[in-house]
A and B are shown apart, each in its own frame.
Chain A
């Protein structure tokens, strides 16, 4: 029985079988969702989501924490795929569960595209202010999709001898020649904004602000080669070496910054644990059920 469950999640290499499985899975999923939607009321849906969330969390938690290689946790009736490595009763399910979660997650990409098309389609159809941005979105998406897929599914050629096929050349132009520089340029504008903002906002109004500015100057200069150049006259060993700007900068990062960051990490981890528990037990109802009344 265990083998037959496992075989459901094995990748298939035969195209007819793949398409048959895809069709069965899609139709089955839609029928199941339609039935649940038809026969389950809001209360029933809440319980179903809470149950699936709880079982999913319980499975992953138990697989992670349960000890390995004990007779109780690994009955001999079930073949152990990795007898030499850490595994418990739940370990064989990790791979299919991971695939299942990835597939469910992949559907959210489709949902995102649908949502974007809906918003921008409405804006374009009704000629709202800024409709030309929506038009740019559709043109960009269609161009990348068409040429991306076209280039991907072109038959492979010997790269040394062949000229780059037109679809691939257009895709490269769109990706490397347009998209990449646009994204990099947007991010690089930060340098200008930071310079302007630091000049306008950074004022020593208190002693604490002065202390912060001194630390910032040391780190800013210590993190770049000009810092090492400024204090290059100081020896690299001995007590005076500590006063080289790069050494001072590293000292601030490791002795002052790291403990503060460690405290933040601990705080965030405890907060994350509490939040995970609330989500796992479906106590964080505002997240899932606020729309359903």
Chain B
């Protein structure tokens, strides 16, 4: 009788991977088609980003550095959208720019255009896009001293100095808040090292969930005013601006996907422990 029992527990540890893939696909499709509404309560980190946006003086710009591409669009796209909503709801002017990877500038531009239309916000007056700027740290160093010269032309090829919202914008003192949205490491360190640390410009960020744990020390030290953590952060910001959208749906999917992963781990370990028997016999 012992053999078949051990075989069962062994098999419990070796569910074929295509069943696991199918289960995951089923959970994702189920939650997209028939979502179970779940409560979303903003965390203090998300609230920090919203408060930082609200606190920007009217004569200063918010600079949103959209350093992401399609691979992280599921998290950074909704983050960008929710942040643009927060800026426009608070009547703050903002500029988009992109350091790396270059495609982020177009993706963010499409989002900003759609959101701006909802508020009747005008390009060049309420918001603008400084475009992709090659040079990374060099751009930040030079921009801190002279924004119009460093940026040059905007996304559409118009000199930024000609945009009405850019009148009076000279250097980093004209920026009231920098928001970094990215799925790439080291960009934040450069912003903090060359801009926030040197000039004291308020800084907030939005990261993919997988990289966010590495940036809690900056939040803790006060160098960061707030932080959006993955799709969760985006969903929380959507709740704050009362515009539930893509991130809220993603959080439903992610919730049950996490539950599935936990269940799979528990099943695997149950098989592992029980296959060993009471004294560890038969352990693989």
The listed residue with most A CB atoms (<10 A of its CB), out of B138, B260, B272, is: B138
Chain B, range 227-247, C-beta contacts under 8 Å to A: 229-230, 232, 235
CB atoms of A204 and B38 under 8 A apart: no
CB atoms of B209 and A223 under 8 A apart: yes
Q: Mark B196-235, 1 if CB is under 8 A from A, else 0.
A: 0000000000000100011111011000000001101001
CB atoms of B269 and A203 under 8 A apart: yes
The listed residue with most B CB atoms (<10 A of its CB), out of A105, A195, A264, is: A195
B70 is contacted by which of A102, A180, A229 (Cβ under 8 Å)? A180
CB atoms of A102 and B20 under 8 A apart: no
Q: Mark A230-251, 1 if CB is under 8 A from B, else 0.
A: 0010000000000000100010
Across-interface contacts of A106 in B (CB, < 8 A):
134
B269 is contacted by which of A11, A194, A204 (Cβ under 8 Å)? A204
Of A33-41, A162-170, A185-193, the one touching chain B? A185-193
Across-interface contacts of A192 in B (CB, < 8 A):
20-21, 24-25
Across-interface contacts of B173 in A (CB, < 8 A):
85
CB atoms of B40 and A225 under 8 A apart: yes
Bound CA span A221–B263, Å? 12
Chain B, range 60-94, C-beta contacts under 8 Å to A: 69-74
**Distance in Å from the Cβ of A119 to the closest Cβ of chain B?**
21
Across-interface contacts of A228 in B (CB, < 8 A):
38-41
Chain B, range 16-30, C-beta contacts under 8 Å to A: 17, 20-21, 23-25, 28
Bound CA span A98–B230, Å? 33
> A91 and B40 in contact (CB under 8 A), knowing A102-B139, A195-B257, A254-B216?
no
> A195 and B106 in contact (CB under 8 A), knowing A85-B173, A224-B232?
no
**Distance in Å from the Cβ of A129 to the closest Cβ of chain B?**
27
CB atoms of B261 and A225 under 8 A apart: no
> A94 and B134 in contact (CB under 8 A), knowing A225-B252, A228-B38?
no
CB atoms of A225 and B39 under 8 A apart: yes
> A254 and B39 in contact (CB under 8 A), knowing A199-B267, A203-B269?
no
Of A21-29, A135-143, A255-263, A283-291, the one touching chain B? A255-263
CB atoms of B38 and A91 under 8 A apart: no
A14 close to B (CB within 8 Å): no
> Nearest 7 CB-CB pairs, A to B?
A225-B38, A102-B135, A226-B255, A98-B142, A199-B264, A258-B216, A98-B138
9 A-B interface contacts by CB (under 8 A): A82-B145, A105-B135, A106-B134, A195-B21, A213-B265, A221-B259, A225-B38, A259-B217, A261-B214
Residue numbers of A with Cβ under 8 A of B are: 11, 60, 81-82, 85, 87, 91, 94-95, 97-99, 101-102, 105-106, 175-176, 179-181, 183-184, 186-188, 191-192, 194-196, 198-200, 202-204, 213, 217, 220-221, 223-229, 232, 246, 250, 253-254, 257-259, 261-262, 264-265
